[in-house]
Amino acid sequence: MPLTLGVIADDYTGASDLANTLSKEGVRTVQTIGVPDDGLHLPDTDAVVVSLKSRSIPADEAVALVLAAHQWLKARGASHILFKVCSTFDSTDAGNIGPVTDALRRATGAGIVPVTPAFPETGRTVYMGHLFVGTVPLNESPLKDHPLNPMTDSDLKRVLARQSVGKVGLVPLKDVARGAAAVSARLAQLEQEGCIAAIVDGVFDPDLEAVGTAAAALPLSTGASGLGLGLARALVGEGRVLRQAGDGATIAAGIGGSAAVVAGSCSAATLEQIAVAEAAMPVLRLSAERLVTHPVEEVGAALGWARARLQDGPVLIAASDTPDKVAEVQARFGRTAAGLAVEHGTAAISEGLVAAGVRRLVLAGGETSGASVDRLKIPAFLVGPEIAPGVPLLRTEGQAGEPMVLALKSGNFGGPDFFAKALKMMGH
Ligand code: ADP
């Protein structure tokens, strides 16, 4: 069956967030890591979210990657392409949102492209083309000091125009409030006037549905998870996608093997989750110092410890430590070197655990899970129901060998019993 929605996301965590949003709306969604191989075999789905790391690379490299992703999605029949960007519109005058949107506009044959990072539920609203983060305009929010993309102008019409080759218009709130037909009419008028893109206002939740419905009738849109939500509701509402109930049993069906948790997040939430898990499963605390100075020995010892216990139930291996201990290690070896050594160590442990028969794996930490997923060479995930807000159950797809179920939890997500809850949903 051809795809209904193809998404190209400019970073991994944004991609997961969007994939989770689509799945919660009943859209069967697969998330790929990077541009997939032509031969990648995927189950029947309505949406594929291609995760790239293109937000802060040079614009010409971002365009090349995005066009390769578009080729792949087009070959699978995607009838609408969403270019997923950050809800704070992270970009510079050199790109990448403008150049990538324009390249996709040409590739999809789109006329005008609706663009909006609005997501009222998460405090991102757009009025008269100005983006607000909570109660303040973008240029007064912490984003003004972002190390890579400082955002010093809240007027997204100007921001996008500076990065674009043509005119950028506005679909004002008064049109959005009148519904999808008024948005479509305004977009058509702006296209007549020579605009290649238009910032679309959005202040209230129902605005997303009006924008989503208007966008779904066009080949291309650019926006954040709020636009993804609007598109999902429009596609389900129009019957272009059949609402599927997210079902944990289906995702984890037929997956045997052992279970493990690997943690590298040092957030307060993760430290508490590890402490709670100690009552329920064997926990091994890694030495960050040893992971820097004697990585092979430390990883080997951890895997030996795990192999002796895996047949009796889940195990947890954590590099995570309290802020004072982390600061000590960072002072000795440098922040980046310490972080990378620990990420390499936890990724090698994830790989060793899978080699030892683990098929249900919970990874705690954004960077930690990214490093492990890359090391495990997982090409794609089928996105399942949520374990906790923002953390879906995932099943690997397109990999040689047996499938696995995973949870990738970033730092502060999940309640104190997150690990037990995740393992239970994985069928353990
Ligand atoms: P979060 O999602 O909480 O930000 P991440 O995995 O993204 O978690 O980041 C945690 C970082 O801290 C990783 O780079 C990890 O390797 C590093 N780290 C984990 N444990 C330690 C430790 N004991 N000492 C120093 N760095 C650590």
The domain that holds 293 is classified in CATH as 3.40.980.20
If one residue of 265, 340, 350, 369 were mutated to test the ligand 1 pocket, choosing by the most ligand atoms within 8 A of its CB, it would be 265
- State percent of the chain over pLDDT 90: 85
In the Cβ-directed half-sphere of 21, how many Cα atoms lie within 13 Å? 22
Both 10 and 141 in one domain: the answer is yes
Write down the pLDDT at residue 402: 87
Distance 283 CA to ligand 1 centre (A): 17
Write down the pLDDT at residue 200: 98
Query: Using one digit for the tens of pLDDT, what is the confidence trace for 121-139?
Result: 999 999 999 999 999 999 9
Pocket-forming residues, ligand 1, beta carbon under 6 Å: 264-267, 288, 319-321, 325-326, 329, 338-339, 342-343, 365-368, 410-411
Which residue's CA is the closest to the ligand 1 atom numbered 10?
265
H or E element, residue 105: helix 97-108
Last residue in a domain, options 178, 207, 237: 237
Both 300 and 392 in one domain: the answer is yes
Both 54 and 145 in one domain: the answer is yes
Structural domain contains residue 416? yes
Select the more confidently predicted residue: 190 or 43: 190
| Spatial separation of the C-alpha atoms in residues 428 and 426, rounded to whole Å | 6
Both 204 and 106 in one domain: the answer is yes
Write down the pLDDT at residue 247: 54
Structural domain contains residue 248? no
What is the pLDDT averaged over residues 372-378?
94
Buried b (16+ CB within 10 A) or exposed e, 294-303: eeeebbeebb
What is the pLDDT averaged over residues 265-290?
96
Distance 267 CA to ligand 1 centre (A): 8
Distance 334 CA to ligand 1 centre (A): 13
What is the pLDDT averaged over residues 40-61?
92
Cβ-contact 46, 87 below 8 angstroms = no
Both 276 and 331 in one domain: the answer is yes
Last residue in a domain, options 206, 237, 268: 237
State which ligand 1 atom lies nearest to the alpha carbon of 409: 2
| Spatial separation of the C-alpha atoms in residues 234 and 156, rounded to whole Å | 25
H or E element, residue 420: helix 418-425
Structural domain contains residue 392? yes
If one residue of 274, 293, 332, 368 were mutated to test the ligand 1 pocket, choosing by the most ligand atoms within 8 A of its CB, it would be 368
If one residue of 325, 342, 362 were mutated to test the ligand 1 pocket, choosing by the most ligand atoms within 8 A of its CB, it would be 342
Both 418 and 368 in one domain: the answer is yes
Both 217 and 358 in one domain: the answer is no
- State percent of the chain over pLDDT 70: 99
Q: Which domain holds residue 117?
A: 5-237
CATH code at position 78: 3.40.50.10840
Q: Which of 30-39, 185-194, 359-368, 390-399 has the highest mean pLDDT?
A: 185-194
The β-bridge relationship of strands 358-364 and 258-263 is parallel
Which residue's CA is the closest to the ligand 1 atom numbered 14?
339
What is the pLDDT averaged over residues 71-76?
96
Q: Give the lowest-confidence range in 146-155, 161-170, 267-276, 326-335.
A: 146-155
Query: Using one digit for the tens of pLDDT, what is the confidence trace for 217-255?
Result: 999 999 999 999 999 999 999 999 887 755 556 788 889
Both 223 and 337 in one domain: the answer is no
Number of structural domains the chain divides into:
2
Distance 284 CA to ligand 1 centre (A): 16
Both 264 and 353 in one domain: the answer is yes
Write down the pLDDT at residue 411: 83
Q: Crossing angle for the helix pair 97-108 and 59-75, nearest 10 degrees? A: 30
Residue 381 has pLDDT above 80, yes or no: yes
What is the separation of C-alpha 188 from the centre of its chain, rounded to a whole number of angstroms? 31
Write down the pLDDT at residue 246: 52
What is the pLDDT averaged over residues 266-286?
96
Both 196 and 162 in one domain: the answer is yes
Confidence at 1, pLDDT banded by 50, 70, 90:
confident
Structural domain contains residue 11? yes
Q: Crossing angle for the helix pair 295-307 and 335-355, nearest 10 degrees? A: 30
| Spatial separation of the C-alpha atoms in residues 336 and 330, rounded to whole Å | 8
3-state secondary structure of 91: coil
Write down the pLDDT at residue 235: 96
